[in-house]
Amino acid sequence: MAEYDALLKPLKLKHLTIRNRIMSTAHAPAYGDDAMPGERYQLYHEEKAKGGIGLTMFGGSSVVSPDCPAVFGQLDVSGDRVVPYLKQMSERVHRHGAALMCQITHMGRRARWDVGPFLIPVAPSPVREPEHRTFPRTIEDWDIRRIIGDFAQAARRCREGGLDGIELSYSAAHLIAQFWSQGINKRTDEYGGSLDNRMRFSFDVLKAVRAEVGDDFIVGVRFSADELKQDGISAEEGLEIAKRLAKSGLVDFMNVMHSQATDYLSLATLQPNMAFPMAPFLYLASAIKAEVDLPVMHAGRIVDLATASRAVSDGHVDMVAMTRAHLADPHIARKLTEGKPDEIRQCVGASYCVDRLLMGGEALCIQNPATGREKIMPHNVPRGVGGKRVVVVGGGPGGLEAARVSAERGHKVVLFEAAKQVGGQLNVAAKAPWREQLTGITRWLEQQVGKLGVEVRLGTAATADAVVGEKPDIVVVATGGRPNKGEIGGGEHVISTWDILEGRIAPGANVLLFDDHGGHQGPSVAEMMAGRGSQVELVTPERQILQEIGGTNFPIHLRELYKKGVVLTPDTRLLSVYREGNGFVAVLRNEYTHAEEERVVDQVVAEHGTLPNEDLYFALKPRSTNLGEVDLGALTGNRPQALVNNWDGAFQLFRVGDAVASRNVHAAIYDSLRLCKEF
The CB-side HSE value for 459 (13 A sphere, CA atoms) comes to 1
Query: Over 90: is that where the pLDDT of 2 sits?
Result: no
Per-residue model confidence (pLDDT) at position 262: 87
Give the angle 668-341-445 at the CA atoms, nearest 5°: 20
Using one digit for the tens of pLDDT, what is the confidence trace for 522-536? 999 999 999 999 999
How many whole angstroms separate alpha carbon 414 and alpha carbon 455?
5
Domains 2-358 and 389-482+612-676 share a fold: no
Using one digit for the tens of pLDDT, what is the confidence trace for 66-87? 999 888 889 999 999 999 999 9
Query: Over 80: is that where the pLDDT of 134 sits?
Result: yes
Tell which phi-psi region holds residue 129, choosing left (phi > 0), alpha (psi between -120 and 50) or beta.
Answer: beta
Query: Over 80: is that where the pLDDT of 1 sits?
Result: no
How many whole angstroms separate alpha carbon 93 and alpha carbon 422?
38
How many whole angstroms separate alpha carbon 137 and alpha carbon 286?
37
Pick the CATH number of 485-608 from 3.50.50.60, 3.30.460.80, 3.40.309.10, 3.30.565.10: 3.50.50.60
Check: CATH 3.40.50.720 for 389-482+612-676? yes
Per-residue model confidence (pLDDT) at position 131: 85
Using one digit for the tens of pLDDT, what is the confidence trace for 384-428? 999 999 999 999 999 999 999 999 999 999 999 999 999 999 999
How many whole angstroms separate alpha carbon 104 and alpha carbon 57?
11
Using one digit for the tens of pLDDT, what is the confidence trace for 336-376? 999 999 999 999 999 999 999 999 999 999 999 999 999 99
**Bridge partners for 218 per DSSP:** 165
Residue 112, number of CB atoms within 10 A of its CB: 17
Per-residue model confidence (pLDDT) at position 329: 98
Nearest by Cα to 109 from 267, 262, 211, 290: 262
Buried/exposed 255-273: b ≥16 CB within 10 Å, e otherwise:
bbbbbbbbebebbbbbbbb
pLDDT bucket at 132, cuts 50 / 70 / 90: confident
Helix (H, G, I), strand (E, B) or coil at 353: helix
Residue ranges of domains in the chain: 2-358, 389-482+612-676, 485-608
Per-residue model confidence (pLDDT) at position 414: 98
Three-state SS string across 76-132, please? ECCCHHHHHHHHHHHHHHHCCCCEEEEEEECCCCCCCCCCCCCCCCEECCCCCECCC
Per-residue model confidence (pLDDT) at position 70: 86
Question: What is the average pLDDT score of the chain?
Answer: 97
How many whole angstroms separate alpha carbon 522 and alpha carbon 554?
12
Orientation angle between helical segments 439-451 and 397-408, nearest 10 degrees: 30
Per-residue model confidence (pLDDT) at position 71: 83
Query: What is residue 363's DSSP assignment?
Result: -
Give the angle 492-493-498 at the CA atoms, nearest 5°: 85
How many whole angstroms separate alpha carbon 141 and alpha carbon 145?
6
Three-state SS string across 189-257, please? CCCCCCHHHHCHHHHHHHHHHHHHHCCCCEEEEEEECCCCCCCCCCHHHHHHHHHHHHHHCCCCEEEEE
φ, ψ dihedrals at 583, nearest 5°: -125, -160
pLDDT bucket at 649, cuts 50 / 70 / 90: very high
Sheet holding 412-417, edge to edge: 455-458, 412-417, 389-393, 474-477, 652-655
How many whole angstroms separate alpha carbon 490 and alpha carbon 532?
27
pLDDT bucket at 35, cuts 50 / 70 / 90: very high
Nearest by Cα to 138 from 202, 207, 192: 192
Q: DSSP alpha helices (H): ranges in 4-67?
A: 39-50
Nearest by Cα to 501 from 479, 481, 478, 483: 483
pLDDT bucket at 436, cuts 50 / 70 / 90: very high
Give the angle 163-61-184 at the CA atoms, nearest 5°: 135
How many whole angstroms separate alpha carbon 339 and alpha carbon 117?
51
Nearest by Cα to 516 from 627, 628, 591: 591
Say which amino acid occupies 231. Answer: D
Per-residue model confidence (pLDDT) at position 387: 96
Check: CATH 1.10.1740.10 for 2-358? no
pLDDT bucket at 92, cuts 50 / 70 / 90: very high
* Sign of CA pseudo-dihedral 37, 56, 677, 481: positive
> Is the full-model pTM beyond 0.95?
yes
Mean per-residue pLDDT, 22-51: 98
Number of H helices, E strands in the chain: 23, 27
Using one digit for the tens of pLDDT, what is the confidence trace for 24-33? 999 999 999 9
Answer yes or no: are the C-beta atoms of 185 and 245 closer than 8 Å: no
Nearest by Cα to 659 from 647, 646, 675: 675
Mean per-residue pLDDT, 140-153: 98
pLDDT bucket at 172, cuts 50 / 70 / 90: confident
Q: Above pLDDT 70, what percent of the chain?
A: 100
Pairing of strands 11-13, 481-483: unpaired
